[in-house]
């Protein structure tokens, strides 16, 4: 009896191995891409490309343009246009976008997105160049999101090397303004998202949780500008109109606008006022960070803010308020969930468990713009596993996640193209 049980166990184990085996020749080709991938990543990380560094953004976008062209794409630069959504911190000239199209013999349309800009200041690269330490590759912007650019480039190379062209069209969009809420790219992202059957956003996955994201929070900002009147703080304070006092009052009367049950969070995060210690401040400014889980909640918060600011404490002060919709929320659509469940099965071929992130965790995403006007599948965090985004000195990716993630993206493109998954037409 024990022998029979052992034989059955071995048989079922063998069956599991058959079902779990990665597909060839795709897996072998992907495995060989890891070393070239790291070389590409070093090249990308070695170009400083902060969101306000137009010189650096032009340099890295030229590199991306040439790489996509060499892969056979029809490539173009897209400068910020008249449809740009300006916010209080939007630079005069955000980075340009690189858009590429690869036409195949099939019908499915697939959008791949990533961003080239980082949060880091020019000059920081000198102290923190690209380096490899064990299973980690370090560098500024390496996780957020230069690994995503490299992943797209080498996934396209995998398709080329395996002579796969069963897609209708693959569109690649790499933007240079994601870290400042995509003022220039959001309109095009929304347009392309609606035109494609599926969008794969190649932001990094978490180093501690091998996941893809289906839901992210929406982000907004409340900006308060208070104008008062300056006066000597010691000799004639009564002649002034204290903008800082009015700002404090406004913040206090809007402390209760969060609604945890609805997923609404509003927190004051920045404030400045005055010019000198002995001068009644004539100007004051504050910003609140807003997070929502439904698009309509932007209107709810904005309405409450505008209503509250009608009440003022100090006469003759001026209260100006603006409400910026920085990113919409990304919600889990049935199509996205179906796509994600299929991705989980593909990942299991490598003996790995893909976590499906259906609860918002952390920041917003450009994928939400791609999903804004469509219910078609949009999957975020298709990139390699990373850690330390925005951390200044501890940003890295896990090298052992390169092959699994490139295999996953390659297979998803192939299987969507072959109508094996429920992408919408």
Q: What is the pLDDT of residue 362?
A: 62
Cα dihedral angle (8, 13, 18, 20), rounded to 10 degrees?
Answer: 150
Q: Is residue 422 part of a domain?
A: no
Are 79 and 227 in the same domain? no
Instruction: Give the pLDDT of residue 20.
Output: 65
Question: Quick check: is 413 in a domain?
Answer: yes
* 355 and 411, same domain (yes or no): yes
**209 shares a domain with 294:** no
What's the first-to-final CA gap in the chain, in angstroms?
54
Least confident of 173-177, 311-315, 402-406, 420-424: 420-424
Residues 240, 380, single domain; the answer is no
Residue 224 domain boundaries: 218-326
Q: Is residue 392 part of a domain?
A: yes
- Whether residues 361 and 397 share a domain: the answer is yes
Neighbours of 150 (CB within 10 A): 31
Residue 246 has pLDDT above 90, yes or no: yes
For residue 143, pLDDT over 60 is answered with yes
Among the three residues 326, 357, 384, which one is the final residue of a domain in this structure?
326
pLDDT tens-digit map of 288-337:
999 999 999 999 999 999 999 999 999 999 999 999 999 999 999 999 99
d(CA 415, CA 345): 12
Query: What's the domain count of the chain?
Result: 2
Q: Using one digit for the tens of pLDDT, what is the confidence trace for 17-50?
A: 444 699 999 999 999 999 999 999 999 999 999 9
Report the CATH number at residue 248.
3.30.70.360
**Out of 10-14, 206-210, 401-405, least confident range:** 10-14
Listed range (65-69, 96-100, 224-228, 259-263) with the worst mean pLDDT:
259-263
In a domain, 9, yes or no: no
Q: What is the mean pLDDT of the chain?
A: 94
Question: Same domain, yes or no, for 151 and 96?
Answer: yes
Q: Is residue 13 part of a domain?
A: no
Check residue 423 and give its pLDDT: 42
Asked, for residue 33, whether it belongs to a domain, the answer is: yes
* 227 plus 211 within the same structural domain: no
H-state helical runs in 292-424:
296-308, 334-348, 367-370, 402-417
Per the domain annotation, does 5 fall within a domain?
A: no
Whether residue 105 is found in the same domain as residue 172: yes
Dist CA 131 CA 56 (whole Å): 20
* Residue 393, pLDDT score: 80
Query: For the whole model, what pTM was predicted?
Result: 0.91
Please give the pLDDT value at position 87: 95
Residue 424 lies in a domain: no
Cα–Cα dist 198/209, whole Å = 24
**Residue 422: what pLDDT?**
58
Domain check: are 126 and 53 in the same one?
A: yes
Could you tell me if 157 and 41 lie in one domain?
yes
- H runs (alpha helix) in 218-263: 243-252
Q: Which residues are catalytic?
A: 117, 178
Q: Which residue has the higher pLDDT, 360 or 272?
A: 272
Same domain, 76 and 194: yes
Q: Is a pLDDT exceeding 80 seen at residue 361?
A: no
Q: 206 pLDDT exceeds 80?
A: yes
**What is the CA 292 to chain-centroid distance, rounded?**
16
369 and 410 fall within a common domain: yes
Query: Of 326, 361, 379, which one is at a domain's C-terminal end?
Result: 326
Place of tokens 């059955």: 8
Picking from 326, 358, 384, the residue at the C-terminal end of a domain is: 326
Of 227-231, 255-259, 358-362, the one with minimum mean pLDDT is 358-362
Q: Where are the alpha helices (DSSP H) in 203-348?
A: 243-252, 296-308, 334-348
Segment 346-357 shows an average pLDDT of 97
Query: Which CATH number does the domain housing residue 355 bear?
Result: 3.40.630.10
């Amino acid at each position: 009896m024990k022998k029979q049980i052992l034989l059955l166990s071995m048989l079922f184990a063998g069956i599991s191995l058959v079902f779990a085996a990665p597909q060839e020749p795709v897996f072998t080709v992907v495995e060989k891409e890891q070393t070239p991938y790291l070389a590409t990543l070093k090249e990308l990380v070695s170009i400083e490309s902060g969101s306000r560094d137009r010189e650096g953004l032009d340099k890295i976008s030229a590199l991306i343009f040439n790489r996509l062209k060499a892969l056979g794409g029809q490539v173009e630069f897209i400068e910020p246009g008249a449809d740009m959504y300006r916010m209080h911190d939007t630079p005069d000239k955000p980075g340009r976008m690189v858009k590429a199209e690869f036409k195949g013999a099939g019908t499915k349309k697939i959008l791949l997105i990533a961003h080239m800009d980082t949060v880091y200041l020019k000059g920081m690269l000198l102290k923190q160049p690209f380096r490899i330490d064990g299973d980690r590759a370090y560098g500024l912007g390496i996780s957020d999101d230069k690994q995503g650019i490299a992943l797209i480039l080498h996934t396209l190379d995998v398709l080329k090397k395996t002579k796969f062209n069963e897609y209708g069209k693959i569109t690649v969009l790499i933007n240079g303004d994601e870290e400042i809420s995509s003022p220039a790219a959001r309109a095009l992202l929304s347009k392309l998202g609606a035109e494609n059957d599926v969008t794969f956003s190649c932001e990094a996955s978490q180093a501690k949780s091998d996941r893809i994201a289906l839901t992210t929070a929406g982000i907004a900002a409340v900006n308060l500008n208070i104008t008062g009147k300056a006066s000597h703080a010691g000799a004639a304070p009564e002649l002034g109109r204290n903008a800082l006092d009015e700002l404090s009052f406004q913040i206090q009367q809007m402390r209760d606008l969060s609604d945890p049950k609805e997923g609404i969070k509003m927190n004051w995060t920045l404030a400045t006022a005055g010019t000198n210690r002995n001068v009644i401040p004539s100007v004051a400014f504050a910003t609140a960070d807003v997070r929502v889980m439904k698009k309509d909640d932007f209107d709810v918060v904005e309405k409450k803010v505008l209503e509250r600011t009608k009440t003022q404490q100090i006469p003759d002060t001026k209260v100006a308020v603006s409400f910026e919709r920085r990113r919409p929320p990304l919600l889990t659509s049935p199509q996205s969930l179906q796509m994600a469940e299929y991705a989980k099965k593909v990942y299991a071929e490598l003996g790995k468990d893909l976590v499906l992130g259906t609860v918002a965790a952390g920041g917003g995403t450009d994928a939400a713009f791609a999903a804004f006007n469509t219910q078609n599948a949009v999957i975020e965090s298709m990139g390699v596993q990373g850690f330390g985004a925005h951390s200044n000195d501890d940003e890295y990716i896990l090298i052992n996640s390169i092959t699994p993630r490139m295999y996953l993206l390659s297979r998803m493109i192939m299987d969507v193209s072959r109508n094996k998954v429920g992408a919408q037409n």
